[in-house]
Amino acid sequence: MWWENAVFYEIYIPSFADSDGDGIGDIEGIRSRLSYLKAVGIDAIWLTPFYPSPKVDNGYDVSDYCAVDPQYGSLEQLMRLIEDAHQLEIKIIIDVVFNHTSTNHPWFIEAASSKESLKRDWYIWRDSPNNWESFFGGSAWSFDEITKQYYYHSFAKEQADLNWQNKEVKQAVLQVIQFWLELGVDGFRFDVINNLTVNDQFSDNPIGEDGRQIHRYDVNQSGIMETLKELNEWIKEQNPEVFTVAEISSDNLSLINSYTDEAHFDTAFHFNLGSMKHLDLQNLQKLTKEFQEMSKQNKIPTLFFNSHDMSRSWNRLANNDYSLYQLFAVFVLINRGISFLFQGEEQGAADYEAQSFEDIRDIQAKNKYREMLLSMSEEQALLEANQVNRDRSRGMIAWNNDQDAGWIGIGPRNPEADHILTLYKQLIQLRKEEGPFQTINMIKLQEACLSYQTENLHIILNFGKRKVQHPLQVKMSTLFGRGTLSTDGNLVQVPPKACWIGKEHL
């Protein structure tokens, strides 16, 4: 399928490109950068939520699934974006958030109006709460004063969970998907899809030895696979080339892969790679070998180190070191798997750091700040909040030097931005020329040097501070990097913090 060797580019809309000077990225801003994305080599764009929303969770609290928030533009402008992208042979996938709606959504407003409402059962209600905790902190239950019952929200109290045991909910979701398919979107990224069902006995979750709640009964519950399989099969009936990717809130590879096996998603995000908190080469080797096992089962992993939910890899993994940063780029792009880049990654964009509580936009960080403020100073609470602050990757892209800060601050521009952009263009071009990569093998880690082979390419990533001499089993020529082949062709010498990509002579 088209997506197997594609390079995807995630656009966090409010922070990408502002076309009208109001400080908020918009659809016209994206349109103005399509030629740039084409020049980079991007095959598909993933748009984060653009729907009308109160923005409690920056758009993941949707109040209308079939419209565009006016601050981003109009439905007509989005249709033109899709058309223009297709003319450039760039596909468009969109975020869909079907675990929950905003409490401002007409569905919830009607459901909350009366216990006798026809949409009452579209959401989850109880006379008394159990001990389930929200993933944003605090109880997952909020009391509704009008009907005197509690409604369930696995995230913010303004994000009420839909009841997927109700067939009318499923049908309403299919109508939403049909709407966007008819407008020409090429795929869907399903947000927190493993939260979709809960234990209908509402048993209390256990508490671990560390005092934290174990989410045993509110994620990955019985019946979810059948529901999602039905959903995916329906989508493929409409168009077999539509791409579906699942976001699973887990780093358990077998659990993640079960959503492609049983629920029939094309792939799922592998956060055990993407959420690495620091450079751990043994873990990177382990994950690469797990991806090798996936290839034997015809499963294809997702390759990424950046997204809108985590600190940028320039800071988190490369420690502001250009030489190291390029090694991560090679791993993501010259490897077996679907490559996902996050806006600004190709320029080496750095983290935006909130300097005060007023600078924080992320609800998760706001809640953390308030929690920490009960036991520490404002300065210490801000430090703790910034550790979990998803705003770090959401700073405005610095397209020019005189750009004013927008809805959020500007992500610092990398002094090596031009060199990094050239690097990404070269690697994406190499991927297109040598891919698709169907296999991965010969995975080795020697000291700080990770090497692997995909098809007839041999990749050496030297993360260490010393040069390495790497033996070669067959005669190769240099495709990319700084390695030096010996005169007899039996080994290659790779400098510190450098890479080498060689190609077998067939």
Fill in the amino acid letter for 497.
Answer: K
15, 34, 410 from 403: Cα distances, Å: 12, 20, 8
Let me know: does 37 contact 90? Beta carbons within 8 Å: yes
Task: Please check the confidence at residue 116 and state whether its pLDDT lies above 90.
Answer: yes
pLDDT band at 505 (very low <50, low <70, confident <90, very high): confident
Residue 9 bridge partners (DSSP):
45, 341
Residue 504 bridge partners (DSSP):
476
Give the model's pLDDT for residue 41: 98
Q: With residue 503 as reference, give the H or E element that holds it.
A: strand 498-504
Q: What share of the chain has pLDDT > 70, as a percent?
A: 100
Q: Give CA–CA dist 37/29, Å, rounded.
A: 12
For tokens 């001990």, the residue is: 131
> What token pair was written down for 200?
């209908």
- Residue 436 preceded by cis peptide, ω within 30: yes
Fill in the amino acid letter for 102.
Answer: S
Task: State the pTM of this model.
Answer: 0.94
Task: Please check the confidence at residue 506 and state whether its pLDDT lies above 70.
Answer: no
| Cβ neighbours around 297 below 10 Å, total | 10
Q: Average of pLDDT values for 457-468?
A: 96
- More confident position, 487 or 48: 48
Q: Average of pLDDT values for 81-87?
A: 98
Residues 6+ apart with CB under 8 A from 499: 326, 327, 330, 459, 460, 461, 462, 480, 481, 482, 483
Q: Give CA–CA dist 335/86, Å, rounded.
A: 26
Q: What is the pLDDT of residues 420-446, one digit of tens each?
A: 999 999 999 999 999 899 989 999 999
- More confident position, 108 or 504: 108
User: Which residues are designated catalytic?
Assistant: 191, 247
Q: Give CA–CA dist 137/118, Å, rounded.
A: 31
Q: Give CA–CA dist 343/12, Å, rounded.
A: 7
Task: Please check the confidence at residue 121 and state whether its pLDDT lies above 70.
Answer: yes
Q: How would you write 373-423 as a 3-class SS string?
A: CCCCCHHHHHHHHHHHCHHHHCCECCCCCCCCCCCCCECCCCCCHHHHHHH
Mean of the per-residue pLDDT values of the chain: 94
> What token pair was written down for 463?
């993360």
Q: What is the pLDDT of residues 145-200, one digit of tens each?
A: 999 999 999 999 999 999 999 999 999 999 999 999 999 999 999 999 998 888 88
pLDDT band at 272 (very low <50, low <70, confident <90, very high): confident
Task: Please check the confidence at residue 405 and state whether its pLDDT lies above 80.
Answer: no
Most confident of 66-75, 218-227, 253-262, 463-472: 66-75
SS3 category, 91: strand
Let me know: does 132 contact 113? Beta carbons within 8 Å: no
Let me know: does 235 contact 244? Beta carbons within 8 Å: yes
Q: Give CA–CA dist 338/95, Å, rounded.
A: 17
Give the model's pLDDT for residue 487: 80
Q: What is the pLDDT of residues 203-259, one digit of tens each?
A: 999 999 999 999 999 998 888 999 999 999 999 999 999 999 999 988 888 899 999
Let me know: does 9 contact 37? Beta carbons within 8 Å: yes
